[in-house]
Structure 1
Amino acid sequence: MIAAGVGLLLAVAPQAMAEPTPMPKPSPKGERQISAADPVRQTRPPQPTAPMTKLTTPPEPVIPDPRRNVPASIFTTFDAKQKADAARVSSYLSSLSTLVGNFVQVGPDGSKLTGDFYIMKPGKVRFEYDNPSPISMIADGQSLVVRDRKLATQDVYPLSQTPLRYLLSDKIDLLRDTNVVAISSDDLYISIIIEEKNAVIGTSRLMLMLGVKDGQLKQWTVTDPQGYDTTVAIYNLDTSRRPDPTMFKIDYTDYSTPPG
């Protein structure tokens, strides 16, 4: 179930399917870098030190209505307010250089996983799932790996084939750089849905939700081509702390890509 939730979060195309490789061995004893090469790491990097009010209870993610209809026309047009909302979201995403916080992930079956995440743009992210989950996800700007400490494996995906690339882009104009098919807002959230079509596997979607009052990213939902949703809500956000760049290193040194 854990692996399924992560897989739906990625929603990759067939040509981007992962190549399973054995997990690299731990770094030599005494080395202080935090690296993806350490499969048995139990401690997390230091938490953000910037003064903020910490939530002791994770927020309850907003789960999209599975019966919702999303316009699929490539000729979708938006009014002035919708364009302004898209510009606001684009400006916010482009303004971020680092982001650290906690997350709650809800899978298609309603199961929940929690953990911490660390973003350094462009292209770098690390998701650390709380115990008992053995999963972590690391992107180094080019590739994204899903590591399983229990199985001692890591699956490698091109970052360019995952929805996370939109969140990790240095600068982005959603209406120009993506296929936005819906923009809506209410008293609480601005919601934007991005659609991607693939001739082989079908259509996947990414829905971003930002708070109307504070303008901060609250959650995203990935819908896979089969229509299953995985929602990730984030909280305790800190934009002032710069994560250690070594957190985003992936060790490919001893493992070549399998042929085929």
Structure 2
Amino acid sequence: MNRRTLLAALLPLTALPFAGAMAQLAASPPLSAQDQADVARIEAYLNGIHTLKARFLQVDANGNSIGGTAILDRPGRMRFEYDPPDKMLLVAGHGLLVYYDPAVKQTTNLFLSNTPLGILLESNLRLAGAVTVTGIARATGQIQLTMVRTARPGDGTITLIFATDPLTLRSWVIRDAQGRQTQISLFDVTYGGEYPDRMFTFVGPQFEH
């Protein structure tokens, strides 16, 4: 999996033209009563998560896969450590997403609020107002919500996929401006625990001891 593909899995590299993104947003169907009830249930579930640690498998549109360990520490903090030999790192904290590629010793920085992935990390998450649910799909034992930031639909979409009994976050899909998508699946999930601040602050290798 090359560096650009890996970045596209988590970060919107290129925004859709604003007019086109707004047209897509306007075309979203209104939520039914059942939709609204499911959205409220999912909001409550996500807001009930403080910390989460899991193994993850990331698969891009070409079928390339890479694994690692993920930590979510809501609000506002996340850490993705990719398995060797890649050893890439993505850290969210202090309002930023920082991606580090050791192969080229290069970092990429984005504001967390400009990324669809940042929706997962918001304090007192509401799937309305600043976030727009653009689609809901259901299958036996599963429900998925697709959403965008209302003011920045061109930043990309995130689709959250849940098992329904009990309600559990299983995976998410990021779709970039070119329509390419990458899925992150979680397994061996544990909830709770405390993680030190340093895990969510990127320190370049030149400063490590």
TM-score range, shorter chain: 0.7 to 0.9
Instruction: Work out which of the residue numbers 192, 195, 204 in structure 1 matches 2:145.
Output: 192
From 93, 100, 114, give the equivalent of 2:67.
114
1:154 aligns with 2:107: yes
Q: Alignment identity in percent?
A: 25
SS at match of 2:5: helix
- Count of residues paired in the alignment: 198
Deviation, 1:124, is 0.7
Which residue, out of 189, 203, 212, partners 2:164? 212
Evaluate the alpha carbon distance shift between residue 197 and residue 97 of structure 1 in structure 2; reply closer, same or farther with a 3 A threshold. closer
Match of 1:8 in 2: 8
Matching residue within 171, 182, 201 for 1:230 = 182
Q: Distance in 2 between matches of 1:203 and 1:143?
A: 15
Instruction: Give me the TM-score of the superposition, normalised by structure 1.
Output: 0.69
Equivalent residue number for residue 95 of structure 2: 142
Alignment deviations for residues 120-168 of structure 1 (CA, whole Å, 9 cap, x no partner):
1111110001112131101113111111122222111111111221111
Q: Which amino acid aligns with 1:10?
A: L
SS at match of 2:31: coil
- Runs of 4 or more off by more than 6 Å in structure 1? none
SS at match of 1:241: coil
> Any unmatched runs of 5+ in structure 1?
16-70, 256-260
8 Å CA contact retained: 1:208, 1:220: yes
- Deviation for aligned residue 1:12: 2.9
- Name the structure 1 match of 2:20: none
Which has more strand, going by share of residues? 2
Question: How far 1:196 moved relative to its partner?
Answer: 4.9
Higher relative contact order (CA 8 A, sep 6+): 1
Greater Rg by CA: 1
TM-score by length of 2: 0.85
Q: Supply the distance in 2 between the matched residues of 1:202 and 1:248 (Cα, whole angstroms).
A: 27
SS of 2:194's partner is coil
CA RMSD in angstroms comes to 2.5
For the pair 1:170 / 2:123, whether they are aligned, the reply is yes
Alpha-carbon distance, 1:6 to partner: 2.4
CA contact (8 A) 1:106 1:231 kept: yes
